[in-house]
Structure 1
Amino acid sequence: MPLRLGLITPSSNTALEPLTNSILSSLPTTTTTTKAPITAHFTRIRLTQISLSPAALNQFHTETFLSAARLLADAQVDVIAWSGTASGWLGFDVDSELCRRITLETGGIPCTTANLALNRALELLGGVERMGLLTPFVEEVQERIVANYRLSGFEAVCEKGLAERDNVAIGRIGEEVLDGAVERVVGEARGLDGDGTGGLQAICIFCTNLHAAQRVEYWEEKYGVPVLDTITAVVWDMLRICGVDTSDIRGWGQIMRLK
């Protein structure tokens, strides 16, 4: 039987759909767990701005997500994911409750989110207390994300936001800008702790509208530290939930070899 992954996508996101399909196309055809075709299916919710304004926060009503999840359930998907990072500034417990509601609403379909997947990967890396954090967001959103990670036991000792509110503009950020931003995160860590990676145990690329997943292995090789991208994390976690072995997937970073 085909394995169907259902993803709830921000309406203005232009990165996650092509990157999700690219990751899935990397699945080895000889792996026993992937003999059945694995396909991604998307539905969109309206989201255009990233800020803490009332209008921006009102984009994240639970019923909006439940309606989108019901549409995916019509396609009899095997797992559902919210491929967005809003709980980074709203609080990670928001995603835990959202997944509970979606699973209940859809008659038992398991659910994950970009942030829950990313946090699960951080836990599986073991002992991550000092991390770098790169987002495209404005300072007030960045500060909320850093504070929520601190409450969860992960200290973002070096972080960089690119000060964008418009999600379409975020999707236009190029590799050159991202390369420079990651370099600045690592450079800041070196300034705090000497040389090497400055004690960083992971770098998180925190937004599912950044065209960053394809650069992860380059950054890992250059800086010698695991790099966790939210788009990749969602796909990894969905496959994990469905019992698919991701360890033979190449080109998308160390996360695929986490057990």
Structure 2
Amino acid sequence: MARIGLITPSSNTILEPETCRMLRDVDDVSAHFARFSVLKIGTDKEAIGQFNLESQLAAAELLADCKPDVIAWCGTSGGWMGLDQDRLLCEEITAHTGLPATTAALAQIEAFKRLGTRTYALVTPYLSDIQSRILETFAAEGFEGVAEEHLEDPGNFSFATYGEERIAGMVRRVAEAGPDAISIFCTNFNGVRIAPGLEAELGIPVIDSTALTLWHALVLAGADPAIVPGQGALFRTS
């Protein structure tokens, strides 16, 4: 039995039900969740302060009580706060719990590498300054953003209110730039169910952050991601 520990933003309503749905028909893998307070996404002091190490570690330590094989921070904050922030978080989680750790942003970088991605397109619900920082963060890792769409929403709860058709339209438009991959970069956005179908339609890997984080957690837990049915090319890499 592989147990996956997932730290969730408190106002996120997509991640938990969709992760459980993806694992519904998977034997010997269970998902377990802990939350800390995240109410809005922005670059102001209050918004950035939500992602303090103390709150995240407290959630990780609670998850450790159920003896998971891995702990993942299921937030994309490393995209605009910098990947060093996420790397430090993972180091501290491991130091406090003895468990391997990852984040949605670090998983995105690993996914790009596994898929041989050089160029990508970015789809999010975020504000312009958040979007710009994500593009800069990924560029520093060697990945070129060739198209992007965002919704100028400070969220976080509201991100889940956008329908799949609207998000699919965003994905189809950025696909016109011919990227190697498309990232739907938010774990509270309705991209997880439509990503596999869009990938088949467009012939381009479409990577949703909720599925992405589960993928990397499974890899770190020593499980084969291919056991999760109905997913795209990423789940066939390990």
Q: How does 1:216-255 map to 2 (within 5 A)?
A: 216-255=195-234
CA-CA distance at 1:142 after TM superposition: 0.3
- Of residues 162, 181, 193, the one that matches 1:202 is 181
Q: Is the contact between residue 214 and residue 252 of structure 1 (CA under 8 Å) also seen in structure 2?
A: no
1:67-106: per-residue Cα shift (whole Å, max 9, x none)? 1111011111121010000010001111111100001011
User: In the alignment, which of 36, 40, 58 is matched to residue 49 of structure 2?
Assistant: 58
Letter in 1 for 2:134: I
Q: Aligned partners of 1:148, 1:174: CA distance in 2, in Å? A: 27
SS in 1 for 2:34: strand
* Whole-angstrom distance in 2 between the partners of 1:109 and 1:243: 12
Counterpart of 1:257, as a letter, is: R
1:247, distance to aligned residue in structure 2 (A): 2.2
TM-score by length of 1: 0.89
What is the TM-score when the length of structure 2 is the normalising length?
A: 0.97
The alignment partner of 2:12 has SS state of coil
**C-alpha deviation, 1:250, in angstroms:** 2.6
Contact 2:2 2:223 in 1 (8 A): no
For this pair of structures, how many residues does the alignment match?
238
Matches within 5 A, 1:1-259: 2-27=1-26, 29=27, 37-106=28-97, 108-126=98-116, 128-187=117-176, 189=177, 198=178, 200-259=179-238
Which segments of 5 or more consecutive residues in structure 1 lack a partner in the other structure?
30-36, 190-197
Amino acid at match of 1:13: N
The answer to whether the 8 A contact 2:125-2:153 is kept is: yes
1:233 shift after superposition: 1.1
SS class of match (2:153): coil
Q: What amino acid sits opposite 1:64 in the alignment?
A: S
**Deviation, structure 1 residue 3:** 2.2
Distance in structure 1 (CA, Å) of the matches to 2:10 and 2:195: 25
Q: CA deviation at 1:66?
A: 0.7
1:248 Cα offset (Å): 4.3
CA distance in structure 2 between the aligned counterparts of 1:66 and 1:249, rounded to whole angstroms: 28
2-structure distance, mates of 1:229, 1:72: 24
Once the two structures are aligned, what percentage of the paired residues are identical? 42
Check the 8 A contact 2:199/2:206 in 1, yes or no.
Answer: yes
Q: Runs ≥4 in structure 1, deviation > 3 angstroms?
A: none
